A and B are shown apart, each in its own frame.
Chain A
Amino acid sequence: MTIEFELNGKAVTYSGDPDTPLLWALRDDFGLKGTKYGCGVAQCGACTVHVDGMNRRACVAPVSSMEGRSVTSIEGLTGAVAEAVQGAWVALNVPQCGYCQSGQIMSAIGLLGLIEDPSDADIDAAMAGNICRCVTYGRIRSAILQAAQKVKA
């Protein structure tokens, strides 16, 4: 069985075990190491990618469920929102150890794709599934707000 989908804008085919989590396929088969393994049980958000533009935890998404869909990992981000978020992350020096930040950035961009000018409550609700052991939550919030302002300007 082969699974065909779009990955970071390119058509790809996966021919391994269809139950393999997307996270494993990204890292081990497609060589995209930016998406991180954290908990493996959809509790931490480190493995967040976009599937058809929506946030998705890759550790609990069988690669078979990607058939015909469009997957974006941290390596494939493009566009004004992504640039604004990445710029704000750098400007505010958001990461500490950095391990969770790929997932944080993906979730933040997913949020801004749905709500252009999020409130603190919107950010709390959307980012509640992304854990940071370095507790950079304050800087993450500031960076999301800064990115939203930049996109609006």
Chain B
Amino acid sequence: MRPWINRRVITTTAFVLAGAFAYINLDYSIAYSLGGKMVDRHEERLRGPEAFSDIPDNAERSEALFREMGKVIESPRCMNCHPKADSPTQREGRPHTPPVTRGVGGMGAEGLQCSTCHGEENVTFTNGEGSIPGHPAWHLAPATMAWQGSSLKGICEQLRDPERNGDRSLDELVEHNSEDTLVGWAWTPGVGREPAPGTQELFGALTRAWVDSGAVCPGTAG
């Protein structure tokens, strides 16, 4: 064990702020137990486009492809930073602590920007139990791209709408889902977090197949 882990953790365990932080510890305990329950759902495998090739109707296949994409889109790793409210959620959809706000450009309030805590990469806590996520572009999705509380059909319609998808064409959306490294963080979320299902490569392939089949949203095929 690295010396700086032992020394500081041990010498500060009984410190006077314990009372103030008791709720944080409780919060983390809940997170881990909730995280455990979430594992089963997220271990569900993400199927590739070939799994849908036996659906003869193009629109129905397109719908099915998007529903599969929904396993990723609706994962907490994606949904947490696409809030309708002014604050993100964390872990398995619980309120973010500390109580941060969106701020300008989704980068947090002046003086408490995302970068106050989130660095350029994930950092495992010194106790080894959990981590703080990180990425050079860590920020909230714009309010126009809010997903929380929407149906999968609603999210799909947002993703097709350049006014609500970051002014992207469908081809640019494929590129975004396939190559954007902040999207890719969902599969390398750090210690204590369940990754999004599958891989970014598979998610990109599903997006490509969905677009190529007409980008039909769930509940709209004949």
CA distance A136 to B110 in the complex (A): 21
Report if A34 contacts B (CB, 8 A): no
Which residues of B come within 8 Å of A, CB atoms? 2, 4, 7-9, 12, 15-17, 19-21, 24, 28, 97-101, 103, 109-113, 115-117, 119-120, 123, 125-127, 130, 132
Q: Is the CB of B8 within 8 A of A24?
A: yes
Q: Please indicate the chain A residues that have their CB under 8 angstroms from the CB of B21 in the complex.
A: 38-39, 43-44, 131
User: What is the interface size of chain A, counting residues whose CB is below 8 A from a CB of the partner?
Assistant: 46
Q: Please indicate the chain A residues that have their CB under 8 angstroms from the CB of B117 in the complex.
A: 42, 57, 60, 129
Smallest Cβ-Cβ distance to B116: which chain A residue: A55
Give per-residue flags for A5-17: 1 if the beta carbon is below 8 A from chain B beta carbons, else 0. Answer: 0000000000011
Which residues of A come within 8 Å of B, CB atoms? 16-17, 19-21, 23-24, 27-28, 37-46, 48, 54-57, 59-62, 65, 97, 99-100, 107, 110-111, 114-115, 122, 125-129, 131-133
In the complex, the number of residue pairs spanning A and B with C-beta atoms less than 8 Å apart equals 120
Q: Is the CB of B17 within 8 A of A55?
A: no
Q: Please indicate the chain A residues that have their CB under 8 angstroms from the CB of B4 in the complex.
A: 16-17, 20-21, 24, 28
Q: Is the CB of B101 within 8 A of A125?
A: yes
Q: Please indicate the chain B residues that have their CB under 8 angstroms from the CB of A24 in the complex.
A: 4, 8
Smallest CB–CB gap between A96 and chain B, Å?
11
Chain A CB within 10 Å, residue with most, of B8, B12, B17: B17
CA distance A17 to B4 in the complex (A): 9
Q: A44-B21, A129-B112 are in contact. Are A60 and B7 (CB under 8 A)?
A: no
Q: Is the CB of B119 within 8 A of A62?
A: yes
Q: Please indicate the chain A residues that have their CB under 8 angstroms from the CB of B112 in the complex.
A: 55, 107, 125-129
